Amino acid sequence: MKRTVTLLLTLALLATAGAQTRADEVVRAIIDNQRGDSGRVTITLTVQRPARTTEYVIESIGDGHDRSLIRVIAPAREAGQAFLTVGDNLWLYNPRLGRALRLPPSARGDSFLGSDIAYRDLAGRDLELHYQAAITAEGADSLELTLTPRPGAPTPYGQIVITADPATHAPLTFIYYDQRGQAVRRISFSEFATVNDRHFPTRIEVVNLLREGERTTVVMSDYTFGIEVPEACFREAALARGC
Amino acid sequence: MFALAWRNIWRKRGRSLMTAGAIALVVLITFLFFGLGTAVDNGLYQRLTERAGHLQVHVTGYRDVREFADGLIYNAAAVQHQIQATLPEAEWVAALDVPGLLEGDGRSRGIVLSGMAHSPALRAQFSDTHLVAGTLPELNDLQGIALGSRLARALRVELGDTVYLYAPGTLGFGAAAYTVVGLLDYGEASLDARSAFVSLAAAQELAAPDAVSRFGLQFPHITRLIDDARILAYQEALSAALGPAYTVETWRQVEPAMAATIELTEPMMAVFAAIFFVLAGLLVTNTIYLSLIERIREFGVIMALGANRRQVIGMVLTESLLLCLAGAAVGAAFGGISLAFMAQGFSFPEPLASAYAELGLPRVFYAGISLSQVLTVLVFTLATAILAALIPARAAGKLEPVEAMRFTA
Amino acid sequence: MKTILKTRDIHKTYRTGEVETHALRGVDLEIHAGEFTAIAGPSGSGKSTLLHILGGLDRPNQGEVWLGEARIDSLSFTELAKLRLTHFGFVFQAYNLIPVLTALENAAFVLELQGMPRREREAKALEALAILGIAELTGRRPNQLSGGQQQRVAVARALAANPRLILADEPTANLDSKTGLALIEHMQRLNSEDGVTFLFSTHDPRLLEHVTRTVYLEDGKIVKDSVLQAA
């Protein structure tokens, strides 16, 4: 009897551990797809507001993991600004000052170029590092995971619900909920490009669920993946000069 | 009947003096409570209206706006001209508040940069109140910046150092370098750690040409809460002149939490005072009851002679009233004298004074008391006298003359 | 002679704890205007009780009490107080006067209870004090007066209100023989010269010698009612 109980308990433990491991693997796969591979891409960022719509053209160079260099090409007023992300660190560069500012952690939630994307969304593997995942639904067309923040995680969200393609693990939607359980933001991924067996979304829509008429659209064009990106691209000097 | 009650009170001189003395003390304390409350309120009021003005002008709907650009008053110079034409007697401040990141010596902080232009009197006041080192940037200085002292310390910068401001998402240059020319003490630690001051011109160049976030208007002759209602007429006049595109709000509407705190002071003081009155009332009840027991035979005779219950109850109540009013008169006299001195200006002892400065209060206070507060003290006294005597009076009313005359203690 | 007070078969019982005392067991009595009458009897005979009932200070358990044409035995406390105030004057054995008031103010006290304004009532009080021969003592407090003077002030107080009769419960009990006699003579004069009706409850023989009618009570019943011709 005792041995049966011990066996059953061990199996149960393994099962939960297994389930956890599977959920973690799925999240990793989803983020791999989201971040694409190392390479260069041109992005058109459209920020829609009730009063006006603003369009930016941006060049982004990334290592497919947690480092990226972003430079603003258009409009002319903003051109020359650059942003370097290395892991959890982010530097802002302004051409008028010729200086880079390291973003204080308190400002990571500030919006990037006035859009619905925050600095913390730009790069890094936030969802993997700061959240605990659990698979909450499995169907033929979509796989759903619910992410809850780990204790002490620096996030304003109470919960994130992710759906992905069950076969490819390409991300479909991320819905962000605040601490009170209200949905505040939805990110939808579409128009996937397959590059080196990563399913990379070239169109991303970020919708502010609390405010009517506020959304940001990210469209990727001109992308080259799978290339070797020089280390120099991810140093402060690259902010001014590019690479 | 008054003569009878008054002389009866002093039959037991010590006891009555003690009771009247207790009432006097409570009345004195209440006067001081009210006086201090008024002083603190006036201090808060003064600081608040100096800092933010009696009236503020914003673009309509500014509270719901999220984009920096949507919350601004454009054509600021023209609007200011109009304001000054409508309210020439007001001192004014024009401010452009820019949220941004300030960097110095490798460290950075999220701050609100305020670009300000003041009328001379308000500028002098601002300088006197807040400047602790160096100078304020001049009206047309595009390079100078004054930092909150805690901010300066956090960034490890001093007078003469260069700091860099990033204000993304704004309409001007979006970034600028400044030289620290002054250090400020805002009084509150949290403000101090995230505030910096530049000239309005510099802020406009940085973030929004010819625009301001708000105008503040201060009326130099309105310094006490009692006079505050006069600003409503000014509010109406300015609203009418500027039209629906702009809102003109009073300081109460802009800082309702502060207004609520100020409104709370008087009721809070009244509650504390009421507690003291209740305690003193217990002593009064005891005194009246004792004097009743000592005179039961006398009351018996009075009732035998034909006094009805109402008259007997009246006698007891009258005694209580005269006792309490006598004490109250003495307490009020001392209270009045104390407040007369405190109205000239007083300060709290040191650790308290700094603590209050932290909360946004001045260092020198002026006490005062309003007519309604004095009347409140009177009402409390009367209520105490009547309520305290209620039980003994009813007992007196229930006496039977024959039994009372036979009473032996 | 006009009847002021009349009782018919009144009974009064007190209960103190477990003990019941039958103070009056059926008393019929008439008091007429101008009388100088005493209710006498041994202690415990009920004479104080009878006086109290006659004066509207108490109510009988049974029987009727009439003041003139009006029945007063079942009036409420407030109505009885009003009755006493307007129709009767009282003098008690002791503690008659209010210690903080002067002789004049004491004498004017009943008038004050009646609501008379100050000047008027003090004039009347002064008159009454004068009749009692103590006009010069107006400003003195009771603790500055002798026992006899205090009783005279009490009589003046009763007199000043011009009542239908004055009831006095053992008025001479605390006075020495000379003072007691003086008081009795004052009251007698008031009765014979001004027609003031007096009703006493007393066991003082000096007083009993001077009254014109004595009603003897024993064990709550009238055992003798002598009416003497005025001397």
Structure confidence at residue C226 (pLDDT): 84
Q: Are B57 and B242 in contact (CB under 8 A)?
A: yes
CB contact under 8 A, B164 and A101: yes
Interface test with A, best of B70, B166, B170, B205 (most A CBs within 10 A): B166
Whether B396 and B289 map to the same domain: the answer is yes
The total of structural domains in chain B comes to 2
Whether B14 and B117 map to the same domain: the answer is no
Select from B176, B194, B211 the last residue of a domain.
Answer: B211
- CA torsion through residues B355, B357, B360, B362, sign: positive
CATH node for C3-227: 3.40.50.300
Q: Are B296 and B398 in contact (CB under 8 A)?
A: no
The whole-angstrom distance between B306's CA and the closest CA on chain C is: 4
Q: Are A39 and A224 in contact (CB under 8 A)?
A: yes
Whether B112 and B33 map to the same domain: the answer is no
Residue type, B100: G
- Report which secondary-structure segment, H or E, holds B85: helix B76-86
Whether B397 and B279 map to the same domain: the answer is yes
10-residue mean pLDDT series, chain B (409 residues): 89 92 95 91 86 92 85 91 92 94 88 94 88 92 93 93 87 88 87 92 90 94 87 93 93 90 89 94 93 91 92 93 95 94 87 78 83 92 94 89 80
CB contact under 8 A, B168 and A51: no
A 129-188 → B contacts, CB under 8 A = none
Whether B263 and B391 map to the same domain: the answer is yes
Structure confidence at residue C230 (pLDDT): 44
Q: Are B57 and B215 in contact (CB under 8 A)?
A: yes
- CA torsion through residues B225, B231, B232, B235, sign: negative
Structure confidence at residue B151 (pLDDT): 94
Q: Which of B301, B308, B402 is closest, CB to CB, to C81? A: B308
Average pLDDT over residues A40-46: 93
Structure confidence at residue B360 (pLDDT): 67
CB contact under 8 A, B305 and C99: no
Pairing of strands A215-225, A198-208: antiparallel
Find chain A residues with C-beta within 8 A of B70's C-beta: 51
Residue B256 preceded by cis peptide, ω within 30: no
For residue B278, tell me if it sits in a domain. Answer: yes
ipTM, interface predicted TM-score of the complex: 0.91
Q: Which phi and psi angles does A166 have, rounded to 5°?
A: -65, -30
Pairing of strands B211-212, A99-102: unpaired
Range scoring the smallest mean pLDDT among A45-59, A109-123, B21-35: A109-123
Whether B282 and B399 map to the same domain: the answer is yes
More confident residue, A41 or A9: A41
More confident residue, C53 or A241: C53
Q: Is A80 left (phi over 0), alpha (psi -120 to 50) or beta?
A: left
Whether B376 and B264 map to the same domain: the answer is yes
For residue B265, tell me if it sits in a domain. Answer: yes
B64 touches chain A (CB under 8 A): no
Chain C residue with Cα closest to B9:
C100
In 3D space, the residue among A92, A79, A91, A42 whose CA is nearest the CA of residue A62 turns out to be A42
Contacts of B340 (CB under 8 A, 6+ apart): none
More confident residue, A219 or C21: A219
Distance in angstroms (rounded) separating the CA atoms of residues A164 and A30: 7
Distance in angstroms (rounded) separating the CA atoms of residues B178 and B161: 8
Residue type, C209: E
Whether B284 and B379 map to the same domain: the answer is yes
Touching, C vs B (3+ Cβ pairs under 8 A)? yes
Interface test with B, best of C77, C88, C91 (most B CBs within 10 A): C77
Distance in angstroms (rounded) separating the CA atoms of residues A240 and A135: 43
**Residue B389: both structure tokens together:** 């005597």
Whether B276 and B387 map to the same domain: the answer is yes
Distance in angstroms (rounded) separating the CA atoms of residues B91 and B219: 6
Contacts of B2 (CB under 8 A, 6+ apart): B318, B322
Structure confidence at residue B116 (pLDDT): 94
Structure confidence at residue C229 (pLDDT): 42
Chains with 3 or more CB pairs closer than 8 angstroms to A? B
For residue B227, tell me if it sits in a domain. Answer: no
pLDDT digits (tens, 9 = 90+) for B225-263: 888 999 999 999 999 999 999 999 999 999 898 889 888
Angle at B242 between CA B239 and CA B247, to 5 degrees: 55
Q: Are B175 and B108 in contact (CB under 8 A)?
A: no
Q: Are B15 and B290 in contact (CB under 8 A)?
A: yes
Structure confidence at residue A163 (pLDDT): 92
In 3D space, the residue among B116, B125, B114, B345 whose CA is nearest the CA of residue B218 turns out to be B125
Q: Are A176 and A155 in contact (CB under 8 A)?
A: no
CATH of the domain at B155: 2.40.40
**Residue B9: both structure tokens together:** 């009170």
Q: Which of A77, A104, A113 is closest, CB to CB, to B110? A: A104
Structure confidence at residue B409 (pLDDT): 58
Number of H helices, E strands in chain A: 4, 13
Find chain B residues with C-beta within 8 A of C86's C-beta: 306
Range of the domain at B189: 95-211
Range of the domain at A90: 2-241
For residue B382, tell me if it sits in a domain. Answer: yes
Contacts of B5 (CB under 8 A, 6+ apart): B315, B318, B319, B321, B322
CATH of the domain at A151: 2.50.20.10
Q: Which of C57, C82, C101 is closest, CB to CB, to B402? A: C57
In 3D space, the residue among B167, B203, B161, B201 whose CA is nearest the CA of residue B183 turns out to be B161
Angle at C30 between CA C26 and CA C31, to 5 degrees: 135
pLDDT digits (tens, 9 = 90+) for C80-111: 999 999 999 999 988 889 999 999 999 999 99
Q: Which class for B306: exposed (0-12), middle (13-18), buried (19 or more C-beta within 10 A)?
A: buried
Contacts of C53 (CB under 8 A, 6+ apart): C7, C10, C12, C24, C59, C60, C65, C73
Q: Which phi and psi angles does B161 have, rounded to 5°?
A: -75, 165
CA atoms within 13 A on the CB side of C47: 25
Q: Are B36 and B340 in contact (CB under 8 A)?
A: no
Residue type, B96: L
**Residue B109: both structure tokens together:** 């902080």
Q: Which phi and psi angles does C144 have, rounded to 5°?
A: -105, 10
The total of structural domains in chain A comes to 1
pTM for this structure?
A: 0.69
Whether B288 and B366 map to the same domain: the answer is yes
- CA torsion through residues C136, C139, C144, C150, sign: positive
Distance in angstroms (rounded) separating the CA atoms of residues A115 and A206: 9
Cβ–Cβ contacts within 10 Å for residue A28, how many?
Answer: 15
Residue type, B46: Q
Q: Taking the domains of chain C in order of start, what are their residue ranges?
A: 3-227
Chains with 3 or more CB pairs closer than 8 angstroms to C? B
10-residue mean pLDDT series, chain C (231 residues): 87 86 90 91 85 91 90 89 92 89 94 93 92 90 91 92 91 87 89 90 88 89 72 42
